[in-house]
Amino acid sequence: METTQLPDEIKPVMENGVPAEVSSCSADGIPNTTIISQVYYVDREHVALSFQFFNKTVRNVRENPNASVLLNDPYGYACWILQVRYDHSETEGPIFDQMDMQIEAIASATGMTGIFKLKAADIYRVDSVRKVTLKRPSTDRS
Amino acid sequence: MAQEGQASTTDLEERLAAKAREVRVLQQVSSEINSTLDLDEIFDVVLRTMDELFGFHHSMILLLDATGETLSVAASRGYGSQADGATVAVGTGLVGVVAKKRQMMRLGNLGRQRAYVSTIRQQMEQAGRASELSESPALPGLPDVEGQIAIPLQIKDTLIGVFFVESVEQRVFSERDEALITVVANQAASAIHNARLYRAEAERSSELAEAHERLKQLNETLEDRVRERTLELHRANRELRETQAQLLQSAKMAALGDLAAGVAHEINSPLGSIHSNADLTKRVAAVVREALTDETAASVVSRYPRLEQALQSLEQATATTLVASDRIVRIVKSLRNFARLDEAERKKADLHEGIESTLTLLQHRLKRGIEVIRDFGELPQLVCSPNRMNQVFMNLLVNAIQAMDEHGTITIRTRLDGDQVVLQFADTGHGIPRENLERIFDPGFTTRGPGVGTGLGLPITFRIVEEHRGSIEASSEVGKGSEFTIRLPIGE
């Protein structure tokens, strides 16, 4: 199933499914996969990723805006694969504030203040979303 | 299609019924919260509602302190005593950040979040960046928490605290939960605010009532205090007058002493000449008398009868001169003794000597018709101020003389009673009426006309006796006389 509209059922996955995996590719074709603490639901067509460290992902998407996000939903025995395209970065506004607040809450509670710090909310347009349902482990041991 | 439509309708009906249940529960909670103005009761209703009606077993209410920098746990449920007295700095953890930003927030999947943080920390430590890390602060809450939701408790734009709910279950807080908890939190904020206002008003009313009561008591006691103050002023005034009188008396005594010392000095030399001349004349007259017993001389004297008369006159005059000069010597001695200016302020003194000196000085008034009876016992020498004691004797004896119109009997008794010397001065004068007897030691009180008495003699006497740690009492019977009894300790 492919769609450019995010379904409602993905919202709790985004809230609870950290960490997510983000894959990007440089202009010269070198891929990179990393884990990311926060994928934020912006609207049905957009998500935001936290830009905390100037890493390869940040550099790659500014060269090549195409990326994919893998969201794990261990409670639903599923994962979601989003094909996204980097659109722009926000350093203020409600989306940035909400993401910043969550990071600040976690960082201050875990002794990571100054390390977890939101530099920008990178806004991505969702090109496609796909849910992959996993087979539940059998409880029948006989 | 029909089956699908039926399922959809049933689902809608169920959702509507669930919504209706929620609304009823919220109405009930709202009613309960707003039915009391007791803070503890409000906390209990809110936390119990979370637990029993919504199934959130761990929740707490934190209130912002006066500094605006710290939140303290005011009430909690599901934490035992772990949360009692716990505090959270504004800006730290979910609760602190919610208080700082004043926005509701929920966090989920915190177990995995902790694992993620732990991984990052390990990586940093391995990369030699451990110094950038700091210890996790001690925050009230569940150690194995999975979901948290914190809602600021606000009245208009003023933050009063944070409502905090936690769960160890995963994916527990939905948007619907958030909406429900927010409604309860808003109700709680309003109720807490009202309860605080009520408490502040009650405290203010109580303070006003206390102030009113104090004012009332003050008014009630004002009259007594004015009376006390007036008495104090009277007392101070009396003491002032006594002191003034004493100063005056002391000045008079000093002047008298000076005069006595001067007179005594001036008189002593001529008096010595007079006395020795009179003595010489007496002895010469005796020689002449003896010479005249000779027969030859007798025959000569018989021819001069006026010689015998002249000799007798000489003998009588000499004797009179000697008696008179003796008396002058005694008076001068009494003058010096009375003033005692040449003696230290306090010393051992013979009280009988003081009494006798005073009597000598009053002799001219006593001799007209007053008999003085001395009933003196054995007294030890008393450490006292001799000239002050002489003032006492003078005051009492002058009063006695005046009370008897200078005719009657003064009896002076002295005795030792245990460790006290007792001195009694009794007269046979007019006596003192009962109504005046209690006031005779008050300064200014006098029964004599203006210009006759100052009304200060007995108060000064009283003060002097007090200074000697003694006491003075008066008894009297009108028409029969008065008696003053002084008791002085011989302690020193």
Could you tell me the domains of chain B?
A: 17-203 (3.30.450.40), 343-492 (3.30.565.10)
Residues of A in contact with B106 (CB under 8 A): 15
Query: Is A33 part of any domain?
Result: yes
Residues of B in contact with A12 (CB under 8 A): 108, 171, 174
Which residues does A31 contact at the CB level (< 8 Å), separation at least 6? A23, A24, A25
pLDDT tens for A110-138 read 888 888 888 899 999 999 999 998 877 76
Distance from CA of A116 to the nearest CA of B (A): 10
Are A105 and B93 a contacting pair at CB < 8 A? yes
pLDDT for A100 beyond 80: yes
Distance from CA of B114 to the nearest CA of A (A): 8
Question: What is the CA angle B70-B71-B72, rounded to 5?
Answer: 120
ipTM topping 0.85: no
CA dihedral angle for residue B317, residue B319, residue B320, residue B326, rounded to 10 degrees: 140
Distance CA B127, CA B129 (A): 6
Query: Is A52 part of any domain?
Result: yes
Phi-psi sector, A111: left (phi>0), alpha (psi -120 to 50), beta: left
> How much is the pLDDT for B357?
86
Which residue type does B195 have? A
Distance from CA of A98 to the nearest CA of B (A): 9
Three-state SS at A77: coil
Which CA distances in Å does B274 have to B30, B285, B367, B391?
124, 16, 26, 33
Q: What CATH number should be reported for the domain holding residue A25?
A: 2.30.110.10
Rg (CA), chain A: 16
pLDDT for B451 beyond 60: no
Query: Alpha helix (H) ranges present in B133-174?
Result: none
Shortest CA distance from B176: residue in chain A: A12
Distance from CA of A48 to the nearest CA of B (A): 17
Query: Is A5 part of any domain?
Result: no
Number of domains within chain A: 1
> How much is the pLDDT for A18?
59
Q: What is the mean pLDDT of residues A35-57?
A: 86
Are B139 and A109 a contacting pair at CB < 8 A? yes
Residues of A in contact with B112 (CB under 8 A): 18-19
Strand partners, B272: none
Shortest CA distance from A76: residue in chain B: B171
Distance from CA of A52 to the nearest CA of B (A): 13
| Residue A83 structural domain | 10-133
**pLDDT class of B4 with cuts at 50, 70, 90:** low
Selection from B164, B190, B16 nearest residue B77 by Cα: B164
Query: What is the DSSP code string of A19-74?
Result: SEEEEEE-TTS-EEEEEES-EEEEETTEEEEEE-S--HHHHHHHH--EEEEEEEET
> How much is the pLDDT for B26?
77
Between A47 and B459, the more confident residue is A47
Are B108 and A97 a contacting pair at CB < 8 A? no
Average pLDDT of chain B, as a whole number: 84
Distance from CA of B56 to the nearest CA of A (A): 18
The DSSP bridge pattern shows strands B58-64 and B70-77 to be: antiparallel
> How much is the pLDDT for B257?
66
Shortest CA distance from A112: residue in chain B: B133
Are B96 and A106 a contacting pair at CB < 8 A? no
Are A17 and B103 a contacting pair at CB < 8 A? no
Are B174 and A12 a contacting pair at CB < 8 A? yes
Are A109 and B109 a contacting pair at CB < 8 A? no
Chain length of chain A:
142
Distance from CA of B12 to the nearest CA of A (A): 18
Q: Is B341 exposed, middle or buried (0-12, 13-18, 19+ CB in 10 A)?
A: middle
Shortest CA distance from B140: residue in chain A: A109
Check whether the bond before A19 is cis (ω within 30° of 0): yes
pLDDT tens for B240-255 read 877 777 777 667 666 7
pLDDT for A142 beyond 50: no
Are A101 and B112 a contacting pair at CB < 8 A? no
Residues of A in contact with B133 (CB under 8 A): 111-112, 115
Query: Is A2 part of any domain?
Result: no
Model pTM greater than 0.90? no
Residues of B in contact with A52 (CB under 8 A): none
Are B133 and A12 a contacting pair at CB < 8 A? no
- Sequence-separated contacts (24+) of A134-139 with Cβ below 8 Å: A134/A77, A134/A78, A134/A79, A135/A77, A136/A77
Distance CA B6, CA B339 (A): 134
Rg (CA), chain B: 54
Are A105 and B98 a contacting pair at CB < 8 A? yes
Are A115 and B120 a contacting pair at CB < 8 A? yes
Out of B101, B136, B171, closest to residue A110 by CB: B136
Are A108 and B93 a contacting pair at CB < 8 A? yes
> How much is the pLDDT for B306?
82
Distance from CA of B209 to the nearest CA of A (A): 47
Task: Flag the least confident range among A15-29, A46-60, B143-157, B165-179.
Answer: B165-179
Given the structure tokens 């347009």, which residue do they identify?
A: A125
Shortest CA distance from A98: residue in chain B: B105
Cα A118 to chain centroid, rounded = 14
**pLDDT class of B172 with cuts at 50, 70, 90:** low
Residues of A in contact with B101 (CB under 8 A): 97, 101
Between B179 and A43, the more confident residue is A43
Q: What is the mean pLDDT of residues B183-210?
A: 88
Distance from CA of A26 to the nearest CA of B (A): 24
Are B170 and A104 a contacting pair at CB < 8 A? no
Phi-psi sector, B151: left (phi>0), alpha (psi -120 to 50), beta: beta
Distance CA B256, CA B242 (A): 20
Selection from B93, B309, B302, B457 nearest residue A107 by Cα: B93
Query: Is A1 part of any domain?
Result: no
Are A108 and B133 a contacting pair at CB < 8 A? no
Distance CA B188, CA B297 (A): 147
Out of A101, A106, A113, closest to residue B101 by CB: A101
Interface of chain B toward chain A, CB-CB under 8 angstroms: 91-94, 96-98, 101, 103, 105-109, 112-114, 116-117, 120-121, 124, 132-137, 139, 170-171, 174-175
Query: Is A4 part of any domain?
Result: no
Distance CA B278, CA B286 (A): 12
pLDDT tens for B411-445 read 999 999 999 999 999 999 999 988 888 888 876 66
Q: Provide the edge-to-edge strand list for the sheet that holds A66-73.
A: A31-36, A20-25, A66-73, A78-90, A120-133, A46-51, A39-43
Which residue type does B76 have? S
Query: Is A18 part of any domain?
Result: yes
The token pair at B402 is 């005046």
Answer whether B481's CB lies under 8 Å from B426's CB: yes
Across B360-379, b (16+ Cβ under 10 Å) vs e yields bbbeeebeeebebeeeeeeb
Shortest CA distance from B138: residue in chain A: A109
